[in-house]
Amino acid sequence: MSITFITPPLVEGPKIAFFIPLPEFLEKLPLGVAMGDGRVGLPVTMTVVGTWFCMFVLFLLFKFGTKNMKLVPESKGQILLESLYNFLDGIITQMIGKWKNKYFSFISCLFLFIFTGNILTFFPIPWLTKETTDMVLAPAFRAPTADLNTTVGLALLTTVIFIGTNIARTGVLGYLKGFTEPVPVLLPLNIIGELAKPVNMSFRLFGNMFAGMVILGLLYKAVPAVIPAPLHLYFDLFSGAVQSFVFTMLALVHIQGALGDSEPNELLNK
């Protein structure tokens, strides 16, 4: 058995990994796709599989990293998790201060998932090909954040959070009235600005991750694989870390704007 390295494709869409067969009464669903055997199934793309893999990795990290925790950390897993906690605690406290405890879980999960998804293609995984018995070394998953569906979903989730926070603080009428401030003539611009927030967040993350994939694909087509391989350090690892931080900071900025000058007790008592 030989081991070879497969270069990433130039542009790869979210391929269908497998189908989940649907019962007959659900076959007319808009998402149903013919599987080729006369039946209809729900397609599961590589983006979804990559998302599941990220969730599995994070589950294992926290499952085994929190075992036998001590006041003075001794294991590498506890040291890693405490360092990660201190990093997230610092940026969240700096942005929203006393509101940290309310939003820490959401922001930390957002950052960890995006970071894990961004660097997913940095680690080649050995797997067997269907055509031969050769072992190949290549990214087995597609980065979920290189799919616009994922980034739009994350942006919409964040939008629900900061709009819900704004409504909880000012009420529905207060939120709508905010579009007319400081002067009513700015109503159209304020509406466009609110709609632009999730668009900006989703396209920024998707554009950077997808562009990096395309650039690496072009380089692999133009030169031997050994030359562009080190560039994965930048396009996958460094850029992935930066983009996950940028997305998280944008989410914090929008939540901070929705909170205004309110205090935790003041909002929670409403």
β pairing state of 3-5 and 135-138 = parallel
List the alpha helices (DSSP H) in the chain.
46-65, 76-96, 100-118, 148-177, 187-222, 232, 239-259, 264-268
Residue 6 lies in a domain: no
Bridging pattern class, strands 125-128 and 16-21: unpaired
Would you say residue 101 lies in a domain?
yes
User: pLDDT truncated to tens, each residue of the chain (270 aa)?
Assistant: 444 444 444 455 567 767 777 776 666 666 666 666 667 777 777 888 889 999 999 998 888 878 877 877 777 878 888 889 899 999 999 998 888 888 999 999 999 999 999 988 877 665 555 555 555 556 667 788 988 889 999 999 999 999 999 998 888 998 888 888 888 888 899 899 989 999 999 999 999 988 888 887 777 777 766 677 788 788 888 999 999 999 999 999 999 988 887 777 655 555
* Predicted pLDDT of residue 67: 81
- What is the CB neighbour count within 10 angstroms for residue 268? 10
Q: Determine contact, residues 14/149, Cβ cutoff 8 Å.
A: yes
Which residue reads 């039946």 in tokens?
Answer: 39
Whether 22 is covered by a domain: the verdict is no
User: Does some domain include residue 251?
Assistant: yes
Asked if residues 158 and 251 have their Cβ atoms less than 8 Å apart, the reply is yes
Q: Residue 176: left if φ>0, alpha if ψ -120 to 50, beta else—which one?
A: alpha
259 located within any domain: yes
Buried b (16+ CB within 10 A) or exposed e, 70-91: eeeeeeebbeebeebeeebeeb
Q: Are 139 and 121 in contact (CB under 8 A)?
A: yes
Residue length of the chain: 270
Say if 41 falls within a structural domain: no
CA distance 203 to 209: 10
Q: Which residues contact 41 (CB under 8 A, 6 or more apart)?
A: 19, 20, 21, 22, 32, 33, 35
Give the number of domains in the chain.
Answer: 1
* Structural domain for 157, as ranges: 50-66+76-120+143-268
User: Of 242, 234, 238, 237, which Cα lies nearest the Cα of 215?
Assistant: 234
Structural domain includes residue 126: no
| Side chain identity, residue 100 | K
Residue 28 placed within a domain: no
Distances in Å between the Cα of 102 and the Cα atoms of 106, 155, 263 are: 8, 19, 12
What pLDDT does 128 receive? 54
